[in-house]
Structure 1
Amino acid sequence: MNTNDVFRYSDCPMHRSMAILGSKWKPIIIYALRERTARFGQLHSAIGSISKKVLTTTLKELEQDEILIREEFKELPPRVEYTLTEKGKALIPIMKELVNWDYKYSLIK
């Protein structure tokens, strides 16, 4: 059992939540998908400073945790789109509150 599994199966709801959301990029990706479906390149451009490898890994983790859906289209060239699930959409009010907190308390004015 790895460290993330210890948190995932904990009796503490904060531990379980952070096992899913507790990385640098996951909340940013969720927030980037808050209003629309996006392709990999669009997400990469919107986020900016994330490497393609880290974005790929993080998207897979969010898909496994049922936060987003990856839809693959059988076209040439291949196209993949990412959309938040209902479970993922339920996080948006929380993300918006974090943004409001930042506006209120940020050192950058």
Structure 2
Amino acid sequence: MSLLISNAYANPGQQQAGGGFELLIMLAAFGLIFYFLIYRPQAKRVKEHRNLMAALGKGDEVLTQGGLVGRITKIAEDKDFISIALNDSTEVTVQKGAISAVLPKGTLKSL
């Protein structure tokens, strides 16, 4: 069978260098990209939302993530729930985390 197929031998020429330093530089670059494009903006949003939750007070006009607009009537400090009056006769209870924005005073009257 060796008459038809020639033997292949490895070329004893140059061998590639290690490449460990280039790999470390590339991993560091990917780490920086991950930090500045993904982690840092998300951490900033979480911090702003946490500050928003801490600043909520009775009488504030708020917008929920579900699109409800109302005025805060009661805040339960021991639990994470607040009561929001949507109009004179309707009141709903939502979690504090469901509040997406605090609206300027008088927004409910302009709607």
Fold match (TM-score > 0.5): no
TM range (shorter): under 0.3
More helix by share: 1
Higher strand share: 2
| Structure having the higher Rg | 2
Higher RCO (C-alpha 8 Å, min separation 6) = 1
Q: What TM-score do the two structures reach when normalised by structure 1?
A: 0.25
